[in-house]
A = this chain, B = another copy of it.
Amino acid sequence: MPAPVDFLKYIDDNADRFIDRLGAAVAIPSVSGEAVHRPDVVAMSAWLDQQLQDLGVTTKIVDLGEQTDEKLHLPPAILGRIGDDPKKKTVLVYGHYDVQPAEESDGWSSDPFQLVIEDDGRLVGRGSTDDKGPIMGWLNVLEAHQALGRELPVNLRFCFEGMEESGSEGLDDLIKSEAAKGEDGWFDGVDCVCISDNYWLNTRTPCLTYGLRGLVYFSVNVTGPTHDLHSGMFGRMVHEPMTDLIALMGTLVAPDGTILISGIDELVPPLTPEESEIYENIDYSVQDVDEAAGAPIALSDDKVTLLMGRMRMPSLSLHGIEGAFSGSGSKTVIPASVTGKFSIRIVNPQTPELIELLVKAHLEKEFAKLQTKNVLTIKNIGDGMPWVTDPKDPNYEAASRATEAVYGRLPDLTREGGSIPVTLTFAESLGVNVLLLPMGRGDDGAHSTNEKLDRSNFIGGSKLLGTYLYELGPKE
C-alpha cells in the first residue's frame, strides 16, 4: 500500500535535522583500510548501535575476531531487529558504516570528514553516499515511525558491517552462521533482502539493480634469465620474457572489447526480447559514457550495445605488468621475470572455474606457438561469482511502485558491471530475493575526492526506503 502522507511529510519537515545526523556520521573518520583509524571505525559502530537502540531496535554487537595478516582487531558487525509480527513480511537490511580513505591533500575542496552543504544541494563528505547516507536513510524511516507513533509495515532485521571497503572480512561467516540458525538466529523469518549501496546509472533516473558481474583476476608470469640482462649485450641473443608476455597479452581482447579467448563470449546466453526491451527503456546515452570517461571513447554509437557491454557481456581489461620498467625516462634493461595482470568480468552462467579452464587452455596454446624457451606460470589470484535475479520478483515490484510514488517515474532496471559480493552471500545463504535499491546518483564519486550525495537524493531516498516497506507490506 502507499506510504502514509504523514510519514512523507515528517521526512520533509525534518530534512535539515537528518542532514545534521548525516554530518555527525561523516565526522567519524571510520576508514577501515587504515590502521590508525581503526578506533574511529569502532567508535562509529558504537555511535550507530546507540542510534538504533534509541529508535527502538534491539541490537547485538558481534565480535569478528582478529584481522588476517594485521595486528588489528576487526570492527564489529551490528545485528538488529524490530518487529515480530508473524502476519507481516520480514525484510533484512544491509549497510556498511566504514568508508574509503580520504585526505584533504588528495584534492578535496574541504575537510572530507566535515560535511559541507553546498548551495546547489550537494552534501560533500567522505561516506555521504557510500554508505552512510543510505544507513541514515533507514534511521530516518525508523525515527519518523517512532515520532508519529506508527507501526512499521514490516518486521525489520539489520546487518551492518565496518569492513566493506576492506574485503568484508568475517562477514560471510557471520551471515552463513546466522542463516543456518533459522528461527533461532537474527535472520529469522526473513522474506527478502534490501541493500542500498550502489548508484543510479546516470544523474537523472532512479534505478533498481538486478544483476552484478563476477570477476576472475589472473597473473601471467613469464620467466627466463636468472637476472635482468643488458639489452645491448643480450638483445637478439636470448628469448626475452617481455616479448613473450606482450605477445600473450595481445591475444586476449580486441580493441573493440571482443574477448578473443575461445568459449568466453560464446558462454553468454542469447538475448531475449524481454531483456532487450529492458536496455531499450533505460535512460542512457553515448554521451553519458563519454562524459563519465572524460573523453569521446565509447566503444559504440548505439546505447543498447553499450549497456549490454557493461551489463550482460563479459569484459577483459589489461591492468599492467609487474617486474618490467615502469618509471619515467628510459632504462635499457631486459627484465628477467615479468607478470602480466588482467581480469575478466563474468556473467551467468560463467563461473570462475570455467573461465579459469578456458583462460589457461588459451594461454598455454598461444605460449606453445611462440616456441620460446622461457617458462610460463598462470595464476587465478582472486575471483567472485556473477549474480542475477528476477526483476519481476515481488521485492522488485514493490521497489518499482515505491520509486514511481516518490519520483513520479518507473525506475530503470539495471545490472552493474562491478561486484558487490555480499549480495551473493545473502542470496545463497537465505535463499530469498535480494534487491539492490540505490539512493545516490552516478556522479557521486563514491571512492573519489569530493564524494557527495545530493540533498534531494538523501531526502527522496529516505522516502523511497520507507515507501518500499509499505509497498512490500499488506495491501491494506
Give chain B nearest CB distance to A372 CB in angstroms: 5
Any B CB within 8 A of the CB of A238:
yes
A299 to B234, CA, bound (A): 10
A333 to B418, CA, bound (A): 11
Does A371 contact B419, Cβ atoms closer than 8 Å? Answer: no
What would 16 A/B residue contacts be, using CB atoms closer than 8 Å? A217-B330, A224-B297, A230-B417, A232-B417, A232-B418, A232-B419, A233-B416, A234-B289, A235-B257, A236-B314, A236-B315, A238-B289, A296-B373, A297-B374, A320-B326, A325-B341
Give the residue among A237, A296, A298, A315 with the most B Cβ atoms within 10 A.
A237
Give the residue among A236, A297, A317, A335 with the most B Cβ atoms within 10 A.
A236
**A289 proximity list for chain B (CB < 8 A):** 234, 237-238
Residue-wise interface mask of A (219-257) relative to B, using a CB-CB cutoff of 8 A (1 in contact, 0 not): 100001111011111111111101110110110011111
Does A231 contact B317, Cβ atoms closer than 8 Å? Answer: yes
User: Interface size (A, Cβ < 8 Å)?
Assistant: 80
Task: Choose among B224, B249, B299, B418 the residue that contacts A233 (Cβ–Cβ < 8 A).
Answer: B418
Any B CB within 8 A of the CB of A33:
no
**A254 proximity list for chain B (CB < 8 A):** 243
**Do A330 and B381 contact each other (CB < 8 Å), given the known contacts A242-B319, A255-B372, A293-B226?**
yes
Any B CB within 8 A of the CB of A328:
yes
**Do A236 and B293 contact each other (CB < 8 Å), given the known contacts A246-B250, A325-B341, A330-B381?**
no
Give chain B nearest CB distance to A116 CB in angstroms: 22
Any B CB within 8 A of the CB of A86:
no
Any B CB within 8 A of the CB of A270:
no
A295 to B373, CA, bound (A): 9
Residue-wise interface mask of A (83-100) relative to B, using a CB-CB cutoff of 8 A (1 in contact, 0 not): 000000000000000000
Give the residue among A244, A250, A298 with the most B Cβ atoms within 10 A.
A250
Q: Which residue of B lies closest to A217 (CB)?
A: B330
Number of copies: 2
Q: Which residue of B lies closest to A417 (CB)?
A: B232
A227 to B318, CA, bound (A): 16
Task: Choose among B231, B319, B333 the residue that contacts A315 (Cβ–Cβ < 8 A).
Answer: B231
A257 to B331, CA, bound (A): 19
Pairs A-B, 9 closest by C-beta atoms: A232-B418, A226-B294, A235-B315, A320-B325, A320-B324, A250-B250, A236-B309, A236-B315, A326-B326
Does A293 contact B253, Cβ atoms closer than 8 Å? Answer: no
Does A319 contact B297, Cβ atoms closer than 8 Å? Answer: no
Any B CB within 8 A of the CB of A115:
no
**Do A232 and B325 contact each other (CB < 8 Å), given the known contacts A237-B299, A318-B243, A330-B382?**
no
Q: Which residue of B lies closest to A254 (CB)?
A: B243
Does B295 contact A417, Cβ atoms closer than 8 Å? Answer: no
A341 to B331, CA, bound (A): 8
Any B CB within 8 A of the CB of A441:
no
Does A294 contact B332, Cβ atoms closer than 8 Å? Answer: no
A233 to B306, CA, bound (A): 11
Any B CB within 8 A of the CB of A370:
yes
**Do A417 and B234 contact each other (CB < 8 Å), given the known contacts A246-B246, A319-B335?**
yes
Any B CB within 8 A of the CB of A215:
yes
Give the residue among A224, A310, A326, A328 with the most B Cβ atoms within 10 A.
A326
